[in-house]
Chains A and B, each alone.
Chain A
Amino acid sequence: MSVRAELKYKIMKDYGAPAIMALQDIKKRKKRPVPEAFGPPLESNKRLKEILSRHYFLSRYVSGVKKVAWVTSGAPVELLRAFDFYTIYPENHSALVGAKKQGGDYCGIAEGSGFSQDICSYARIDLGHMLSGKTPAGKLPKPDLLFCSNNICQTVLYWYKAIAHELNIPLIHFDAPFVTTEQTEADVNYMAQQLQDMIPILERVSGRVFYLEIFEEILKRSMETSKTWGAILDAMKAQPAPMTIFDAFGHLAPIVSLRGLPVAQDYYHILMDEVDNRVTQGIGAISDEKYRLIWDNIAIWYKVRFLATFFAERKMNFVTATYTNAWAETTGHLNVKDPWKSMAKTYGQIILNNNLKHRLGLMTKMIKTYAVDGMVMHSTRSCKPYSVGQFDLRKAITADLDLPAVILDADIADERVWSEQQIHTRLEAFCETLEGS
């Protein structure tokens, strides 16, 4: 680690980043007017933007100071934090590219180099970034290590394997056996052992020694952060709900990619306070909430604004989603006294690694506790674990709960497969059913 690089990083962290953020803030004074259908926007948005921009901004100066790891959204990142890795989340970055409606361009780069257009668009965008160096975030540091877990999909394993090969860097894979009925003791032991097996590799790559106390501290912080995130989502049970799920898609970023760090912990306290306040004062995310909806699957990043407006104008608000809930659902298992096994339980049982009976039960519970009137399912060609089974989930839910539901065929980040006309017709028909029921 060079002293110069470290000094530069410190200066940028303490002075450079705040200055740039302030500058950006001045530039962005001219805000877009909020459409009438929406309530007042969340104050926390500003802080969220700051945190995320700062994270990407600082990553440019991290080379020679900290080791960089690319991590999947469901990986047990707490272990990496104990070695002070600077973590980049390719899924988060791909979502950012998607939200900027540039997904097609990045996918095109990957496709041109020989990757099929039938593979996940998060992966194609990331591979497009890797092959071209392009990113809307300015510049991303090259990874020293890749860390993935197939608890969200097997795809990340194939994807990270391709990066590891291209960049010739180590890949650590955390194998999380799919839960077909319930986790067995063998599953838990296997995962716990894998985590412990990783320590010597992480020590070697990071050049740091593992201290259990530091790790426990991080674990505690992570638990507390997830709990706050869960409480924020819980607050959306209020009528009117203080935020929409489209807000939550954005506010999800720290729990996914900064989990275990103080900045994420602090941020959710700020958001929690604001949300609580809005509930007390009866401020809703949309001005007139008449219908409450549930969202299933990952966001359609390039259409978030369009969908938010479309539904808000019809007095419909998304108050819960299986997606946002994924980072709160299983953290109850975490236990500092038994870190390895408790992490195995937490990370092994998340929604996408669990059977569809569990998912149906969870969705049913969410629909009831959040007083939901209708369901929108995004069937995404990119994500098989989230999408295979949706047709039958829909059938079961509409039959058991007498709930109108619609399935939108789209993609998470490749805007080229969006079929405006078709989606519009489906959405209009869904709204008519909902209003008529």
Chain B
Amino acid sequence: MPRKLPALTDDTRPFWTGGEAGELRIHHCTACERYFHPPAPICPRCTSFDVAAQAVSGRGVIVASTVNHQAWNPELEASYSVAIVELEEQAGLRFLSNIVNCPPEAVHTGMPVQVVFERNDDVWIPLFERRV
């Protein structure tokens, strides 16, 4: 499917390009010893500037999902899965993505997933598939 691509900045580039090395990269605060997302130049919890992207496992669990049926533009697939995935590294560490390589109707809350990357130009979109 075609995708609107994100602008890459110093803050967001690790998240959107880590897939080139096969890594999901999430910002981490050295002072808090906690991850946070979306990435930013400062930790939103303790305002430390000692933050940097780190590779995480790419494993997570679906906390919410929906099957989109609306053809927002003619190039989209008939239906596709949109989901929020919580990463196993930290409770509440989550982001919105698509679940691929399985029928969208089969996606459900609690389903274990693993990141896969879809290259579009200079962006590696982090998507997820069922983890077995």
Do A and B pair up? The answer is no
